[in-house]
Amino acid sequence: MIIHSKHPVLLEHAQTLCREHGASLLFLTMFGSTLYGTETPGKSDIDVRGIFLHSPESLALNKAPKSLHFSTGNNERRNLAGDVDIDLWSVQYWLLKLLPSGDTGALDVLFSPSHTACTLYRHPALDAIFANPLRLVDTGKGRAYAEYSLGQAKKYGIKGSRVGALKAVRTWLQEHCPEPQPHERLGGYLDSLAASCADDRFCSVVTVREEHALQLCGKLHISTIRMEDLTRRVEADMQRYGARAEEAERNEGLDFKALSHALRALDQIEELLQTGKIVFPLRSREELITVKEGRYLWREVESRILGRLEAVDTLRENAPFTGSFDAAFAETCVLACYKTIDAPPCAPEPACVTRLAEGFSIPADTLAAIQARLDAAERKHGVKVLYAVESGSRGWGFASEDSDFDVRFIYVHKPEWYLGLAPEEKRDVLELDIEMTPVGELDINGWELRKALKLFRLSNPPLLEWLSSPLVYREAGPLASLLREAAPSCTSPIRVWHHYRSLMGKSRARYWEKKPSSKAWFYLLRPLLAMRWIELGKGVPPMRFDRLMDGVIADAALRKELDTLVEAKRRGGEQDKFRPPPLTAVFTEGEWARLERETPALAAEQQKADLNAVFVATLSAAWPQGVVLWKR
Strands (E), 331-464: 352-356, 383-390, 405-413, 429-431, 435-437, 440-448
Is 436 in a helix, a strand, or coil?
strand
Q: What would be the CATH architecture of the domain defined by 351-491?
A: 2-Layer Sandwich (3.30)
Domain range list for the chain = 8-137, 146-155+252-317, 158-241, 351-491, 494-597
Q: pLDDT-derived band of residue 143, with 50, 70 and 90 as boundaries?
A: low
* Preceding peptide of 281 cis, ω within 30°: yes
Q: What is the pLDDT of residues 308-367, one digit of tens each?
A: 777 777 777 777 877 788 999 999 999 999 887 754 333 333 456 788 888 888 887 788
Dihedral (CA of 406, 407, 409, 414) sign:
negative
What is the Cα–Cα distance from 460 to 452, expressed in whole angstroms?
Answer: 9
Q: What is the pLDDT of residues 451-486, one digit of tens each?
A: 999 999 899 999 999 999 999 999 988 899 899 988
Quote the pLDDT of residue 386: 95
Phi, then psi, of 28 in degrees rounded to 5: -150, 135
C-alpha pair distances (Å), 275 with each of 184, 320, 455? 56, 7, 45
More confident residue, 425 or 100: 100
C-beta atoms surrounding 41 within 10 Å? 6
Question: Does pLDDT of 265 surpass 90?
Answer: no
| Conformational region of residue 348, where left means phi above 0, alpha means psi within -120 to 50, and beta covers everything else | beta
More confident residue, 434 or 304: 434
Quote the pLDDT of residue 628: 40
What is the Cα–Cα distance from 459 to 391, expressed in whole angstroms?
Answer: 17
What's the mean per-residue pLDDT of the chain?
81
Quote the pLDDT of residue 246: 54
Dihedral (CA of 553, 555, 556, 559) sign:
negative
Cβ pair 535, 600 in contact under 8 A = yes
Cβ pair 534, 493 in contact under 8 A = yes
Equal fold, 8-137 vs 351-491: yes
What is the Cα–Cα distance from 87 to 51, expressed in whole angstroms?
Answer: 9
Question: Does pLDDT of 156 surpass 70?
Answer: no
Quote the pLDDT of residue 627: 45
Is 616 in a helix, a strand, or coil?
helix
Distance of CA 20 to the CA centre of its chain: 36
C-alpha pair distances (Å), 227 with each of 176, 178, 206, 230, 235? 11, 10, 18, 5, 12
Give the pLDDT mean for 186-202: 82
Q: What is the pLDDT of residues 392-411, one digit of tens each?
A: 888 888 877 677 899 999 99
Quote the pLDDT of residue 418: 85
**DSSP letter at 420?**
S
Q: What percent of the chain has pLDDT over 70?
A: 81
Give the pLDDT mean for 187-211: 83
More confident residue, 46 or 576: 46
Quote the pLDDT of residue 631: 34
Q: 144: burial class by Cβ within 10 Å (0-12, 13-18, 19+)?
A: buried
Q: What is the pLDDT of residues 556-586, one digit of tens each?
A: 999 999 888 888 877 765 555 677 888 988 8
Comparing C-alpha atoms, which of 255, 234, 236, 222 is closest to residue 167? 234
Q: Pinpoint the alpha helices (H) of 382-426.
A: 393-396
Phi, then psi, of 352 in degrees rounded to 5: -145, 130
Quote the pLDDT of residue 607: 63
Question: Does pLDDT of 430 surpass 90?
Answer: yes
Dihedral (CA of 519, 523, 525, 530) sign:
positive
Question: Does pLDDT of 513 surpass 70?
Answer: no
Q: What would be the CATH architecture of the domain defined by 8-137?
A: 2-Layer Sandwich (3.30)
The DSSP H or E segment spanning 216 is: strand 211-216
Quote the pLDDT of residue 26: 94
Question: Does pLDDT of 251 surpass 50?
Answer: no
The CA R_g of the chain, rounded to the nearest whole Å, is 31
C-alpha pair distances (Å), 612 with each of 113, 415, 457, 606? 48, 14, 11, 16
DSSP-derived pairing of the beta strands 405-413 and 440-448: parallel
